[in-house]
Amino acid sequence: MKEIERKFLVASNAWRAGARGTRYRQGYLSISKICVVRVRTMGRRAALTIKGASKGMTRDEYEYAVPLKDANEMLDRLCGERIVDKTRYEIRFKGHTWEVDVFHGRHRGLVIAEIELKSEAERFEKPAWLGREVTGQRRYDNSALAS
């Protein structure tokens, strides 16, 4: 499966009206130039995800549900310090769903919005609360934040 995603910093809290979030805890089992392997808990759900290297805004992505107990054990036993803690909010705007991540812990204060697209050329309207685009800037990848 292909993931096509664009990322932006968030410039204001205008998106927060009525938003409800889910706490995410994700850790990295492997980080290399070829791919990353991540385990993530999302409330009462969990998944193991393998993401290939980005080519432009596109990369291969494979995600599989795993038992929550197993995911928590992998996070606690195998990820070491390579963990990101955040709350994710889904915001509908002009026919698209934006995922707004509010980071906790050592990344407190960082807020990033992502939109997944069907193609790199797909057009979309940007909400007024978006800031600067950071697509392709490695330092804003969750795997980099976890390192």
Q: Tokens at residue 86, please?
A: 């955040």
Scan for tokens 């994700």, then name that residue: 26
C-alpha span between 130 and 126 (Å, rounded): 7
Would residue 28 show up in a list of annotated catalytic residues for this protein?
Answer: yes
CB-based burial label for 95 (10 Å; 0-12, 13-18, 19+): exposed
Task: Provide the β-strand partners of residue 16.
Answer: none
Q: Which of 24, 28, 62, 64 is catalytic?
A: 28
List the catalytic residues.
Answer: 28
